[in-house]
Structure 1
Amino acid sequence: MDWIAQNRPTPALAPMPFTLPQPRRRFVPESAWFADPRLADSLHGIRHQGRVCVLADLLAQHHQLSPDDAAALCLAAAVHDCRRHHDRADTGHGQRAALWLQRHSDTVLTVLGQDLPVRSLVRAAVAIRLHDVPHEAFTRPQIRTYQQAPHLVDLLKTADALDRYRLPLKRWWPDLTRLRAAAPAWLPTVAFELVIRSERARLNGAPHQQAMDDACRLFTTPAKGERF
Structure 2
Amino acid sequence: MPVQPELALRELAIGRTLPDHQRMDAATLDWIAENPPPAADLPQLAADDIPVLVPDPAWFTRPEQAEGLHGISHCARTSVLAFLLARVHDIDGPHTAALCTAAALHDCRRHDDRTDPEHGRRGADWFTEHAEDVLAVLGQNIPAALREEAATAIAAHNLPYDAFSPAQHTAYQRAPHLTDLLKAADCLDRYRLPLKRWWPDLTHLRVTVPDWLLPFAHGMVIHSERARLHGAGQRDALTHAVTILTR
TM-score by length of 1: 0.92
Within a 5 Å distance, the mapping from 1:96-175 to structure 2 comes to 96-175=122-201
Identify the residue that residue 19 of structure 1 maps to in structure 2: 44
- Structure 1 gaps of 5+ residues are 222-228
Alignment root-mean-square deviation, CA? 1.3
Tell me which moved more, 77-86 or 31-40: 31-40
Amino acid at match of 2:209: A
Contact 2:172–2:179 (Cα < 8 Å) also in 1: yes
Partner residue of 2:55? 29
For residues 25 and 35 of structure 1, what CA distance do their matches in structure 2 show?
A: 25
Distance in 2 (CA, whole Å) between partners of 1:169 and 1:51 is 19
1:40 match = 66
Counterparts of 1:1-12 in structure 2 under 5 Å? Answer: 1-9=29-37
Give the % identical residues. Answer: 52
Q: Secondary structure at the match of 2:174?
A: coil
- Contact (CA 8 Å) 1:57, 1:74: kept in 2 or not? yes
CA distance in 2, matches of 1:53, 1:168: 21
CA contact (8 A) 1:21 1:219 kept: no
Residue 18 of structure 1: how far off its partner (Å): 5.5
Segment of structure 1 superposing worse, 19-28 or 41-50: 19-28
- CA deviation map 1:14-39 (0-9, x unaligned): 41326236553221101011011221
Larger radius of gyration between Structure 1 and Structure 2: 2
C-alpha distance in 2, partners of 1:160/1:196? 16
Residue matched to 1:226: none
Find the aligned partners of 1:15 and 1:178 in 2 and give their Cα distance.
22
Gap regions ≥5 residues in structure 2: 1-28
- Taking the aligned partners of 2:52 and 2:142, their CA distance within structure 1 comes to 16
Structure 1 contact 16–189 (Cα < 8 Å) conserved: no
SS of match in other structure, 2:78: helix
Give the SS at the match of 1:123.
Answer: helix
**Matched residue count:** 218
Q: Helix, strand or coil: the match of 1:147?
A: helix
